Amino acid sequence: MITTAWFFVFSVLAFVGSLVLVRFYKSDLDLLAKRFFVVTILISGGAFIQSLLMSYQILPTTQLSSLLLQITLFRGWIVIGMALALAAILSATAFRKSENLRWWQVNRIALERITNAVCISVCLSFVTIEAAKLRYDGWMRQFFLHSGYSVPFMYFVMGSELAGATALLFRRARNVAALGLLVLMCGAVATHYRNGDPFSDSLDAMHLGTTLLCVLLFEIGARFHKGGGLSR
pLDDT tens sequence across 72-91: 999 999 999 999 999 988 87
The average pLDDT across 30-56 equals: 95
Give the global pTM: 0.91
Tell me what the pLDDT averaged over the chain comes to: 89
Range of the domain at 130: 4-231
The average pLDDT across 123-143 equals: 95
CA-based nearest residue to 7, from 182, 206, 189: 206
Total tally of structural domains belonging to the chain: 1
Instruction: Please report the pLDDT score of residue 170 as a whole number.
Output: 95
Instruction: Please report the pLDDT score of residue 21 as a whole number.
Output: 93
Would you call 160 exposed, middle or buried from its count of C-beta atoms within 10 A (0-12, 13-18, 19+)? Answer: middle
The average pLDDT across 56-73 equals: 93
CA distance 118 to 96: 26
Q: Is a pLDDT exceeding 70 seen at residue 149?
A: yes
Instruction: Please report the pLDDT score of residue 14 as a whole number.
Output: 97
Mean pLDDT check: name the lowest of 39-53, 83-97, 118-132. Answer: 83-97
Is there a contact between 84 and 18 (Cβ–Cβ < 8 Å)?
yes
Could you report how far apart the first and last alpha carbons of the chain are, in Å?
A: 43
Instruction: Please report the pLDDT score of residue 183 as a whole number.
Output: 97
